[in-house]
Amino acid sequence: MDTVVQLIVNGLLLGGVLALSALGFNIIFGVMRVVNLAHGDLVVIAALTCAMAYAHWHINPLLLLPFTALGGFVIGACIQRFLLRRLPAEIASGEASSLTLTFGLSYFLAGLGLWIFGGQIRSVPYLTGAIQLGAISIPQARLLAFVAAIVIAGLLGVFLRYTSIGRAIRATSMNLDGALACGVDADLVRTVSFGLGSAVAAAAGTLLSYVYTFNPQDGIPFTISAFAVIAIGGLGSYTGALLGALVLGFAQAFASYYAGSTLADAAPYVLFVLVMLVLPQGLLGRRAS
C-alpha cells in the first residue's frame, strides 16, 4: 500500500511540472495551430544552462528562472517573427510546413546544445534531500519544482485572463476571424504567444534541471510528452492539460517502478496511442464536428 501511495506522490509531483511544460506547448498550439517540435529542446537547453551555471558558479536554478524565462521568450518570439512568419503562403496554409520547420529547428537546437554544452549528461545536485512522511519519501527537489510549477501556471492563468494581451491570445486561439474583426493584431499575438510558450518551456526546464539529468539530445521525448499531455487531456482545454499531465505523471511513475525507467520513457507515447484510439478528442476535449 505504501508503495502505491509513494508512486501516487511521485506521479503527482511529476505531473505538476509536466503540466507546466504542456501549458507552454498548448499556448502555441492553441493560438497558431502550430505544433512546436522544438519545444522539448527549449526545455533541455534551459536545463543545461542552469546545470552549467550551477557547475561554474553554484547559482541556485530558481534564481535563474526569470533569466531563462526571458531568454526563452526572446528565442520564441524570434522563431515566430523571423522564421515561421516567413513561410511562403503557398505552403504555409497547412500544418505540414510549420511542423517540418520546427522539426528542423529541433535538430538545430539539439546540435547547438551539443556544441555549447558538449555531449555528456548534466544535472544540478541541488536540494537532494527528501522529506519523510512516515514511509513516504518526498524528494525536496521534486516538491519545490512542483510548487514552483503550480505558481507559474497560476500566474500564467491570471495573465491570460486579466491582461488585454492575454485576452487577445485566448480570443485568437478560439476564433481567429472573430479576433481579427475585433481589431486584434494577429502578428503581435502570434509573436507574444510563441514567446510566452517558449518562456514557459524554459521555466519548466529550469525547474526540471535539478530533478533530472539532461543531455542535449533529450529534447524530443519532452516534446512528445508535452504533446501526449495535450492530446490526452483534450485539445483546447486548459484544465484538460492539467488533467492530462496528472494522468501522464501517474503513468510514468507506475511504469518506472514496475517496468524500469527505460520502458517508462515509452509511457507518454503508448498512452498517446491508446487515447487516440479510444477517445480521439481527449478526456475533456471538444468533440470535432
Partner 1 sequence: MKIAGWIGAATALVLLLFVPLHINGYWLNLLYQTVLYVGLAYGFNIISGYAGYFSFGQIAFFGIGAYTTGALVLATHWDWTICALIGGVLCGVLAVPIGAVMLRLRGPFFAIGMLGLAQTARVLASSSSALGGGSGMYLPPGSSLLPVYYWTLAVAGGAFAITWWIDHSAFGLRLQAIREDEAIAATLGVSTTRAKVSAFIISAIIPGLLGGGYAWFLTYIEPTSAFSARVDLQSIVMTILGGIGTLWGPLVGAVLMTQVSEALWANFPQAYLMIFGGLLVVLLIVLPRGIVPAIATRMQKRTTPSAGGGMVMGSAQPGPERT
Which residues are at the interface with partner 1 (CB under 8 A)? 35, 37, 83, 86-88, 90-91, 93-97, 99-101, 103-112, 114-115, 217, 220-221, 223-224, 227-228, 231, 260, 262-263, 265-266, 268-270, 272-273, 276-277, 280
Instruction: Give the Cβ contact number of residue 183 at 10 Å.
Output: 7
CA–CA separation, 270 vs 252, rounded Å? 11
What single letter denotes the amino acid at residue 282? G
- Name residue, grid cell 514552483: 148
Shortest distance in whole angstroms from residue 227 CB to partner 1: 5
The cell for 116 is: 555549447
CA–CA separation, 52 vs 47, rounded Å? 9
Shortest distance in whole angstroms from residue 167 CB to partner 1: 26
User: Which one, 19 or 220, has the nearer CB to partner 1?
Assistant: 220
User: Which one, 69 or 77, has the nearer CB to partner 1?
Assistant: 77
Instruction: Give the Cβ contact number of residue 157 at 10 Å.
Output: 13
Question: SS3 for 60-81, per residue?
Answer: CHHHHHHHHHHHHHHHHHHHHH
User: Which one, 20 or 224, has the nearer CB to partner 1?
Assistant: 224
Shortest distance in whole angstroms from residue 174 CB to partner 1: 19
User: Which one, 61 or 249, has the nearer CB to partner 1?
Assistant: 249
Shortest distance in whole angstroms from residue 72 CB to partner 1: 18
